[in-house]
């Protein structure tokens, strides 16, 4: 459940970050044009907002990446399974991301440089200036031509008789200057006497009166833009006003204004080429850096997604190895590893069934062996008991004189054999009715010292306990573990008939995810015969003529009930060492070995 919650939280976080990044891209697209056009304006609200958001997303992603790095390193330091592979997987993703981003960055830099070179190419400036110069030259030529015409001597010739025949005057002007598109004649009181040409260029009497004498001016209406000039002529002492108009090409004003604005803007942009490069680079970084960080964060998420089913399988295998056959691996229905998980679950279920059958078979076989051993052990003393009873009966019936002596010897034999049977049955009862261990925090050295007390006074045997730390704590049943060491010491003393040394050592070791106290009990006896290695812990196996063969079987049973292990190493003529792993208790601080 914790793994599922962690996966859901990481997925939700990743989706939230992705949505936040999409929002940032939208804002950058909205404000990028304004930023580029107002590159010299550093205090605009839109740019401040954009920069704040652009800085927030990378910082947020960096914090999340740092959090994930700390988490993975902690898992690695704690020895969590799969963390080494996860680190390699994350490094692999990061290398791929960097290798993919470097060509993109180089291409973007080249594109920006190419765009800047194309934008600020000197040919562009020459074209804009040339277009504007052509427009101005065209305008100046029209103005100068109109001005020279009204000021020249030819104008008086063309306008002679204009009052009597204004239409004829207009015809003469149009033949010589077809570019003139409008003609008006006003009285001395500026009343319109005649008008010809394009009506959209006609001036009102007020406009004609306000026009300067001989001054060429540009006028614009909704339909057309044109040049106009006023020239006065004197007829019979009266001054009449003549107005000539010359149209400009359609859209001339707009084109000239666009060229002027474009040239001014281009000139301003040239002053901020460096700022423009920085602005382009900044926009690229605003896009690329969060994307790179998001890809790195996705690497952590993907590594978790890839490793999670593997970690679940590894944990399941560890649980099964510890004997928990009820553990099952949960996986997504559509997950690629779901087939492996189902196969593992089927395998564990089959192992559980096989184990149950095996345990049942072993129980039957064990009880069969115990029954055979008991029958054999009980049958052996019954024969001398029967013979003693039959002997007493015969002596009694025959009235033999030595009946009292025979009776006394036979009764002692029967009592001896009955005591042996009682001892055998007591050992069997202790073996079969061994209680569950009552675990507590106990001092290992104290337990060993209590068990060794009985044998310390044995003059021919030396027991060394210096290699057990006084602060070594184990989780154990005090009485049962003391019985373990008592049995091991008893066997060692009997094996070293004639004296020897027993050395006891304890170390802290780690097996899987658990810590154990590994106790070594080493004697200097003759060792165990090679042929008996596999029988040492079997019930009723003994190499001693008066032994029951249950001592080491009880030791193994107690150790296993404590969740530990016991084994031995032996060398003929050099002695035997028994190793016992007992679960650690408390907070021991010893050098750790490997189990």
- pLDDT (tens digit, 9 = 90+) per residue, 397-447? 887 777 788 788 888 888 877 877 787 777 666 666 566 778 888 888 888
**Does residue 45 surpass a pLDDT of 70?**
no
Cβ distance 547 to 403 under 8 Å? no
DSSP for 457-509, written as a single string: T-TTEEEEEEES-TT-EEEE-HHHHHHHHHHHHHHHHHHTTT-EEEEEEEEEE
Q: Which of 445, 453, 433, 431 is nearest to 476 (CA)?
A: 445
The answer to which of 446-455, 469-478, 529-538 has the lowest mean pLDDT is 529-538
* 29 or 257, higher pLDDT: 257
What b/e sequence results for 130-154 when a residue is b if at least 16 CB atoms lie within 10 Å of its CB, and e otherwise?
A: ebbeebeeebeebbeebeebbeeee
Cβ distance 297 to 57 under 8 Å? no
**Per-residue pLDDT at 511:** 76
**Does residue 350 surpass a pLDDT of 90?**
no
Q: Quick one: average pLDDT of 294-307?
A: 76
Under the banding of pLDDT at 50, 70 and 90, the label for residue 579 is very high
**Per-residue pLDDT at 42:** 45
**Does residue 297 surpass a pLDDT of 60?**
yes
**Per-residue pLDDT at 588:** 47
The answer to which of 37-51, 159-173, 378-392 has the lowest mean pLDDT is 37-51
Half-sphere exposure of 45 (CA within 13 A, CB side): 0
DSSP for 395-435, written as a single string: HHHHT-TTHHHHHHHHHHHHHHHHHHHHHHHHHHHHHHTPP
φ, ψ of residue 83 in degrees (nearest 5) = -70, -35
Element spanning 569, H or E: strand 565-571
**Does residue 582 surpass a pLDDT of 70?**
yes
Could you give the CA distance from residue 184 to residue 254 in angstroms, rounded to a whole number?
A: 27
**Does residue 114 surpass a pLDDT of 50?**
yes
Cβ distance 230 to 245 under 8 Å? no
**Per-residue pLDDT at 2:** 47
**Per-residue pLDDT at 40:** 44
**Does residue 1 surpass a pLDDT of 60?**
no
User: Residue with structure tokens 């040394």?
Assistant: 501
User: Residue with structure tokens 């057990």?
Assistant: 468
Could you give the CA distance from residue 528 to residue 293 in angstroms, rounded to a whole number?
A: 66
Cβ distance 465 to 582 under 8 Å? no
**Per-residue pLDDT at 498:** 62
Q: Per residue in 489-516, pLDDT tens?
A: 888 888 877 678 888 998 988 876 778 8
Q: Per residue in 188-232, pLDDT tens?
A: 898 999 999 888 888 888 888 888 888 888 888 777 888 888 988
Specify the DSSP class assigned to residue 235.
E
Across the chain, mean pLDDT equals: 77
DSSP for 532-567, written as a single string: GGGGTTSTT--SSTT--S-HHHHHHHHHHHTT-EEE
Assessment of whether the complete model's pTM goes beyond 0.75? no
**Per-residue pLDDT at 595:** 45
Specify the DSSP class assigned to residue 213.
B
The vertex-327 CA angle with 321 and 331, nearest 5°, equals 115
* 535 or 167, higher pLDDT: 167
* 103 or 42, higher pLDDT: 103
Could you give the CA distance from residue 185 to residue 163 in angstroms, rounded to a whole number?
A: 8
CA dist list (Å): 472 to 110, 514, 590: 69, 16, 9
Q: Quick one: average pLDDT of 548-554?
A: 71
Identify the three-state secondary structure at position 203: coil
Q: Quick one: average pLDDT of 560-570?
A: 87
Q: Quick one: average pLDDT of 20-26?
A: 67
The winner for highest mean pLDDT among 93-97, 304-308, 311-315, 446-450 is: 446-450
Q: Where are the alpha helices (DSSP H) in 219-272?
A: 252-270
* 4 or 317, higher pLDDT: 317
**Does residue 458 surpass a pLDDT of 80?**
no
* 292 or 48, higher pLDDT: 292
Q: In this structure, are strands 575-583 and 514-523 parallel, antiparallel, or unpaired? A: antiparallel
Could you give the CA distance from residue 14 to residue 217 in angstroms, rounded to a whole number?
A: 68
Hey, what are 341's tokens?
């998980």
């Amino acid at each position: 459940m914790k793994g599922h919650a962690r996966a859901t939280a990481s997925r939700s976080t990743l989706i939230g970050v992705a949505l936040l990044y999409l929002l940032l891209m939208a804002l950058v697209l909205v404000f990028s044009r304004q930023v580029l056009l107002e590159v010299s304006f550093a205090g605009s609200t839109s740019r401040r907002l954009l920069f704040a958001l652009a800085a927030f997303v990378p910082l947020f992603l960096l914090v999340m990446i740092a959090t994930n790095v700390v988490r993975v390193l902690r898992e690695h330091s704690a020895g969590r399974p799969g963390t080494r592979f996860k680190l390699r997987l994350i490094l692999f993703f990061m290398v791929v991301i960097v290798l993919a981003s470097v060509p993109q960055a180089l291409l973007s830099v080249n594109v920006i440089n190419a765009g800047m070179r194309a934008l600020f190419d000197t040919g562009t400036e020459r074209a804009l200036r040339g277009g504007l110069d052509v427009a101005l030259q065209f305008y100046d030529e029209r103005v100068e031509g109109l001005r020279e015409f009204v000021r020249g001597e030819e104008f008086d010739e063309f306008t002679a008789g204009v009052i009597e025949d204004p239409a004829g005057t207009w015809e003469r002007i149009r033949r010589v200057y077809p570019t003139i598109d409008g003609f008006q004649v006003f009285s001395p009181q500026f009343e319109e006497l005649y008008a010809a040409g394009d009506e959209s260029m006609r001036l009102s009497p007020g406009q004609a009166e306000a026009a300067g004498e001989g001054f060429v001016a540009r006028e614009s209406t909704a339909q057309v833009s044109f040049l106009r000039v006023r020239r006065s002529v004197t007829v019979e002492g009266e001054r009449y006003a003549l107005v000539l108009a010359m149209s400009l090409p359609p859209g001339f004003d707009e084109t000239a204004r666009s060229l002027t604005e474009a040239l001014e803007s281009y000139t301003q942009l040239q002053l901020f080429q460096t700022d423009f490069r920085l602005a382009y680079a900044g926009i690229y970084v605003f896009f690329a850096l969060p994307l790179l960080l998001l890809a790195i964060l996705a690497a952590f998420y993907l590594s978790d997604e890839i490793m999670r089913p593997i970690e679940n399988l590894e944990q399941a295998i560890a649980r099964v190895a510890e004997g928990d056959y009820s553990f099952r691996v949960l996986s997504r229905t559509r997950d690629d590893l779901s087939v492996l998980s189902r196969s593992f679950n089927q395998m564990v279920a089959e192992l559980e069934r096989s184990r149950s059958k095996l345990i049942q078979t072993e129980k039957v076989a064990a009880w069969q062996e115990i029954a055979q051993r008991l029958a054999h052990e009980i049958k052996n003393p019954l024969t001398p008991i029967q013979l003693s009873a039959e002997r007493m009966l015969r002596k009694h019936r025959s009235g033999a004189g030595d009946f009292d002596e025979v009776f006394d010897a036979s009764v002692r034999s029967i009592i001896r054999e009955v005591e042996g049977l009682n001892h055998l049955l007591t050992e069997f009862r202790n073996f079969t009715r061994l209680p569950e261990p009552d675990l507590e925090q106990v001092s290992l050295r104290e337990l060993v010292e209590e068990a060794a007390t009985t044998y310390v006074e044995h003059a021919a045997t030396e027991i060394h306990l210096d290699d057990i730390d006084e602060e070594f704590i184990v989780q154990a049943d005090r009485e049962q573990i003391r019985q373990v060491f008592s049995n091991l010491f008893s066997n060692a003393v009997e094996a070293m008939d004639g004296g020897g040394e027993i050395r006891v050592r304890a170390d802290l070791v780690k097996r899987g995810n658990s810590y154990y106290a590994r106790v070594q009990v080493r004697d200097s006896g003759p060792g165990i015969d090679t042929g008996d290695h596999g029988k040492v812990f079997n019930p009723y196996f003994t190499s001693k003529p008066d032994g029951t063969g249950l001592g080491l079987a009880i030791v193994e049973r107690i150790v296993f009930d404590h969740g530990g292990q016991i084994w031995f190493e032996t060398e003929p003529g050099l002695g035997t060492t028994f190793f016992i792993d007992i679960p650690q208790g408390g907070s021991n601080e010893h050098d750790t070995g490997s189990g």
